[in-house]
Each structure stands twice: as C-alpha cells, then as structure tokens.
Amino acid sequence: MPVTAVTTDPEALTMTLIGDFAAPVERLWRAFTDPTQLDRFWGPPGWPATFTSFDLTPGGRAQITRLIDGPRELVWRAHTEPELMTKWLLGPDGWRMTVCEIDPAVGGRYRYEWAPDEGVEGEAFGFDGETLVSEAPKRAVTTEHMTGTDFPSTLNDMSLYEEDGATLITLVIEYPDKDTRDMVLATGMTEGMETSYARLERELLSA
C-alpha cells in the first residue's frame, strides 16, 4: 500500500493512514468492500487475511475512554465487587444503588438497580446481563439488558490498561443499530458515567 502519511491520536485511540493509488475511486471502493478482493491483498506478506464475515452496514458502536488516577487492580475490583461498586456507580448526585448483585465468572449473571432520593426527579430502573469473558484484571465482556423491557441487549467490552500508576478504561458498547446508540447517548449517559468515574477516584482511590 503506497502510504504517504500516518496520523495517530492517542486520546481518541485512532490511527489515520493516507495512501495514493494510481486507480479511480470506484475501483478502490470495490477492492475494500468486496471480501473476495480483500482476501487477495489484505495482511502482511506471507500472511493473507481471510474474511469469514463482512458487513458494511453502519453500526451502533460507541467507545468510551476514561483515565483513572489509580492502579488497575483496584479499578477492576471496583467493577466486580458489590461493596465497592455501590460506593461509586451512582450516576448523577441524588441517586442510590438499591440492588448490586455480581457474579464475575464466565456464565455468571449480574443485576443492578438504581432509584432517586426523595425529592429527586426520575424513576427507578435497572440492568441485568451475563458475563461472557472475564480476564482479571484486564478485560471483561458482558451483555447488558434494561430490566423489565423488551429492548435488545448490548454487548459491552471493557479493557483496563495501567501505566505509571494510572489506568485507562476503554469501554466499547455495541448497540443493535446506529439509531439506538444515538438515542441512548442523547439521554446524557456519558455525563452520568463521568460523574461516576469522578466519584470512583474520589471515594475509592483517595481513601
């Protein structure tokens, strides 16, 4: 591939490659969207790729990252031990976690429920799901379903990376489609997550 420039963005976890090809745009589009053609050139020399599945449908994936000023082991425990999780995973101020049941083993299930304090606007809600992958203390993959609804589940892939005493949380959430993702993000979910992460640093890591 005649790559002419490579740009990386560590904060967004992206890498952009620019290449010049002596071919029309339509020809390149076919090469990168037809798996039978990708098989012929994608991958390092001697290691051709094989595409067992290929889908160009716009997806419903969201990636959330947060740097936590604390060790990975404690951040992992904060996500898997109920006595720790109930201290920080509360969302906006004025909410409390009323149910926190976690089995972090593969095949185990979890259930979380929240309710607003008296005088705080909002209705109780919860999530439940199953642990699909558990690689302590670095990665967990779970399903997530809004309790009491027929909404489809999401697939949540969380990884933890520690360097110099700080831990980078990367959470990739796969929604059933783009519209569902955009609807959920519009509820202010990320703001609630940031409030919770700040509480994690304040209540657990500074103790």
Q: What distance lies between CA 131 and its chain's CA centroid?
A: 14
Could you tell me if 38 and 139 lie in one domain?
A: no
Could you tell me if 49 and 96 lie in one domain?
A: no
pLDDT at 1 over 60: no
Could you tell me if 123 and 183 lie in one domain?
A: yes
* Residue 59, pLDDT score: 72
Could you tell me if 174 and 122 lie in one domain?
A: yes
* Residue 124, pLDDT score: 96
* Helical residues (DSSP H) of the chain, grouped into ranges: 25-33, 35-41, 72-80, 82-85, 178-185, 189-200
Could you tell me if 23 and 102 lie in one domain?
A: no
Give the largest Cα separation in the chain, rounded: 67
Share of the chain above pLDDT 90, in %: 60
* Range from 4-18, 133-147, 148-162 carrying the lowest mean pLDDT: 4-18
Provide the domain count of the chain.
Answer: 2
Could you tell me if 67 and 5 lie in one domain?
A: no
User: Which residues are registered as beta bridge partners of 16?
Assistant: 7
Note down the domain range covering 148. 60-205
- Which CATH number do you get for residue 92? 3.30.530.20
* Residue 48, pLDDT score: 64
pLDDT digits (tens, 9 = 90+) for 21-49: 888 999 888 888 887 787 777 776 766 67
* Range from 6-15, 133-142, 177-186 carrying the lowest mean pLDDT: 6-15
Could you tell me if 123 and 50 lie in one domain?
A: no
